[in-house]
Amino acid sequence: MLNISHNQLNKSVDITDSKSGRRVFHKRYYKYFNRFLGAFAIIGFIILFLPWTQNITGRGNVTTLTPDQRPQTIQSPIPGRIEKWHVKEGDFVFKGDTIIQISEVKSEYFDPNLVARTGLQRDAKALSVESYQGKVKAQDIRINALVNERRLKLEQARNKILQSKLKVQSDSIDYEAAKVNINIAQTKYNRADTLYKDGFAALKNVEDARVKLQETQAKLISQEAKLLASKNEVINSKVEISRIQAEYADKISKAQSDKFSAQSSQFDTEAQVTKLDNEYANYKMRNSLLYITAPYDGYINKALRAGIGQTFKEGEALVGIMPAEVDLAVETYVEPIDLPLIHVGEKVRVQFDGWPAIVFSGWPNISYGTYGAEVVAVENFISPNGKFRVLLAPDGEDHPWPKDIRAGSGALTLALLEDVPIWFELWRQLNGFPPNYYQPEGDSKVSKKTKK
C-alpha cells in the first residue's frame, strides 16, 4: 500500500496484533532467511571442492573412419555420350551393377568389330613370326650342312696333299736313282771308250755304252720332270685348301647373313605382335568401360549429368554414390592453444545434432544424450579455418552410436581432461588460463625410459 495519503492507516489502525502482522513484524522474522543463506553458503563452499572434469569443446561433423567409405563421385576414364540410365536417384546398387551405358565419341573407335579385327591382325602377324622362325631353322640346318661339307672337303684336300708329298718322296728317290744310273752309265761309257782306243774293245761296245748313257740321261730328265710335277701337285693341293676355306667361308657367311635377316624380321614382327596385343587388350578394356558400374554396394545420391545423348570428357563426374556399409567417425576442430592437450587414445564425449541431450560438461557421468568416442588421429597441419582437425572413432567400451545418424550431420565434442576442484576451474576461467597441460601415462613412462 502506497503512503501517498496524509491519513496513514498504519498510524490509526494497529495491525501488529493480527495473525499476519505477528508473522511479519515479529523480531525473529530474519531468522529463517539467515538460516537459508547460511545453508546455501555451506553448500556452495562444499560444492567448490567437488571434482570437475576439465574439457575442450569443439564443433565438427559426422564422417567416415576410412577414405574409401566416404561419399564419392563416379567418373568415366574415357570421353563418351550417355546412351541409357539403369538407375535413378536413391536406388541401392550392388558392386558391379551397371549404372550408365555410354557410347564412343571418337571416330577411331566407331568400328563395332574393332576388337575382332585387331585380333585377326595379331593372329596374322603371329603366323608371320612362325614363318620367320622356320626360315631361321632352315638357315641353321644349311649352315650346319655347309660346315660339315667344308670339313669333309678339307679332309679330302689334306689327304691329297699327303698323297702329293708321298709322290714327291717317291719321285725324289727315283730321281736320285736316275742320277746314280747316269753316273754308272757314264763310267761304263768311259771304260768302253778307253778300251776301244787301246784296241782291247770293239766299236760296237762303245756305241752300246753311248746309247745306254743317253737312255740314262733321258730317264734322269724324265724323273726330274716327274719330281717337279709332284712338287707342283703339293702346291696345288695347298692352294685347293685355301680355295675350299674361302669358298665355304663365303657360303657360310651368306647363310648366316640370311639367318640374321630372318631373325631381324622375326624380332620386328614379334614387336608388331606385341603392339597389336597391347592394342587388342586396350580396345577390349575400352569396350568394358562403355558400361559405368558401381565400385561397391551403396546408394545413388545424385545424377550429376542427366539426360540421354549428353557428351562428357574423361574424368568428368557423372553420378554420386554413398557406401552402404560405413564405419562412422566424427571430425572435430580444436584451437591451436588446446592442441597439446589432445592425444591419440583419449576419451571424448559426442553430442549429435538432432538427438536430445542434457550435457553437464564438468560431470560427463551424469550427462544424458552423449556418446563415447576415442581420438584416433590428430592432424599435424592447421586447417583453413585456423584450427586443427581431430578424428574420433566410436568407443568400444561405451554404448553404440545411433544407427540413424548420417555422414555430414553436425556434432558437439567434449574432450575430457584432468579432474580438478570446482574452485580451481572457476579461478582458471576467471583468469582466462588454459586447462592444465598434462601427458598421458604411456607417454610419461616412455619419457622416463629415454631419460635413463
CA separation for the pair 28, 26 (Å, rounded): 5
Instruction: Name the pTM for this structure.
Output: 0.55
Distance set, CA 221 to CA 144, 174, 207 (Å): 49, 11, 21
Q: Residue 99: what pLDDT?
A: 92
Q: Residue 444: what pLDDT?
A: 44
CATH architecture of the domain 72-104+290-323 equals Beta Barrel (2.40)
Q: At 14, is the secondary structure helix, strand, or coil?
A: coil
Using pLDDT thresholds of 50, 70 and 90, give the confidence band for residue 448: very low
DSSP 107-155: GGG--TTHHHHHHHHHHHHHHHHHHHHHHHHHHHHHHHHHHHHHHHHHH
Portions of the chain given CATH number 2.40.30.170: 52-69+326-451
Q: Residue 11: what pLDDT?
A: 65
Q: Alpha carbon 308 to chain centroid distance? A: 37
More confident residue, 211 or 268: 268
Instruction: State yes or no: pLDDT of 134 exceeds 70.
Output: yes
Portions of the chain given CATH number 1.10.287.620: 114-288
For 317-339, what is each residue's pLDDT tens digit?
Answer: 899 988 888 888 899 998 887 77
Q: At 269, is the secondary structure helix, strand, or coil?
A: helix
> Smallest Cα–Cα separation from 54: which of 366, 338, 333, 330?
338
Pick the CATH number of 114-288 from 1.20.5.50, 1.10.287.70, 3.30.1490.100, 1.10.287.620: 1.10.287.620
Using pLDDT thresholds of 50, 70 and 90, give the confidence band for residue 345: confident
Pick the CATH number of 52-69+326-451 from 3.40.50.150, 2.40.30.170, 3.30.230.10, 3.40.50.720: 2.40.30.170
| Highest mean predicted confidence (pLDDT) among 16-25, 60-69, 148-157, 417-426 | 148-157
Across the range 79-100, mean pLDDT stands at: 90
Instruction: State yes or no: pLDDT of 432 exceeds 70.
Output: no
| Highest mean predicted confidence (pLDDT) among 3-12, 364-373, 429-438 | 364-373
Q: What letters, b where the CB count within 10 A reaches 16 and e where it falls short, cover 337-355? A: ebbebbeeebbbbbbbeeb
Distance set, CA 402 to CA 310, 353, 354, 394 (Å): 41, 11, 11, 11
The residue whose grid cell reads 752300246 is 208
414: which residues sit within 8 A by CB, 6+ positions away?
Answer: 55, 56, 57, 348, 349, 350, 351, 359, 361, 364, 370
Instruction: State yes or no: pLDDT of 441 exceeds 60.
Output: no
Distance set, CA 167 to CA 161, 170, 225 (Å): 10, 5, 13
- For the chain, how far is it from start to end, CA to CA, in angstroms? 82
Task: Report the chain's mean pLDDT, rounded to a whole number.
Answer: 81
Portions of the chain given CATH number 2.40.50.100: 72-104+290-323
For 351-399, what is each residue's pLDDT tens digit?
Answer: 888 776 555 555 555 555 688 888 998 888 888 888 889 999 988 888 8
390: β partners: 332, 378
CB atoms within 10 A of CB 330: 27
